[in-house]
Structure 1
């Protein structure tokens, strides 16, 4: 498993770590309307999955905005931001930031995404900051488990991997 800390404290990640070349596992999360959403909802699209601990923090907010801005021009791509925030908080954040078209999804109910992608920080019941890029057939083409949960991911490297598909 990836070694991850949060504010310098070691975290135990639940689930299996994904690697480039793996077939991405399915998951069920909730959208801001409290409707279940799974990987199959985005069938046939490239997916940049941006995973954050909480939308209401500076780094998470920046990560969400940055990936939505940088991936907007990549053909046939959807950006999914997944956290354990309640759908209501995600919806409020999107409205406050003027990003009504951003797709924010909540894993708070079942931890389906977090456990299937190996990002549940057991000690906090939050998702570890990470980035997954999947091709149209849900093959993993890029993975980053950010070592320190309060640090930013490598935006340029992730976008480069997305654009190179």
Structure 2
């Protein structure tokens, strides 16, 4: 799959999973430096907000948007994933007052490779949103074609509203 990053078409490392597939096995690092694996996301509806770099304008906007929206979805786990270090993520959260969103680092690129979202030329993840159900099945997927664009927040939140109503 290809996306546009920095005005150039670039290839992702693989083929991202599709709706109906199970989340692949990956490892992330949480804000406390703990290893978090795919199995740790079972049992709860989870929205993954995937961003290239927390220290850029659009990534900051995307993260703030979901940080504010999550108050309306008490039963949903919201996770932001980037290849930034946990120190960079913590500094951004402190500067922006973002206290609700779970930030997870993919500095080791496990998530990026397993999800097929890593852009090898930049070492960043492709801007995307994934929602998985309590069984870790993907129920929503959105990969933003032009990485400088914001995702379709309304579509993702509409899917969460639909899923919570079930």
**TM-score > 0.5 by shorter chain:** yes
Partner of 2:154: 156
Distance 1:97 1:41 in 2: 27
Q: Calculate the aligned-residue CA RMSD, in Å.
A: 1.2
Query: What are the residue-to-residue correspondences of 1:16-95 with 2, within 5 Å?
Result: 16-95=15-94
Q: Give the one of 134, 137, 150 matched to 1:136.
A: 134
Q: Give the one of 118, 134, 139 matched to 1:120.
A: 118
Normalized per residue, the structure richer in helix is 2
Q: CA deviation at 1:27?
A: 1.3
Contact 1:83 1:107 (C-alpha < 8 Å) held by counterparts: yes
Partner of 1:14: 13
Aligned residues: 163
Give every structure 1 segment of 4 or more consecutive aligned residues whose post-TM-superposition deviation is greater than 4 Å. Answer: none
Contact 1:16 1:116 (C-alpha < 8 Å) held by counterparts: no
Q: CA deviation at 1:43?
A: 2.3
Q: CA deviation at 1:76?
A: 1.6
Partner of 1:145: 143
Q: CA deviation at 1:15?
A: 2.8
Partner of 1:103: 102
TM-score computed with the length of structure 2 as normaliser: 0.93
TM-score computed with the length of structure 1 as normaliser: 0.94
Q: CA deviation at 1:72?
A: 2.3
Q: Where do 5+ consecutive residues of structure 2 fail to align? A: none
Distance 2:107 2:160 in 1: 27
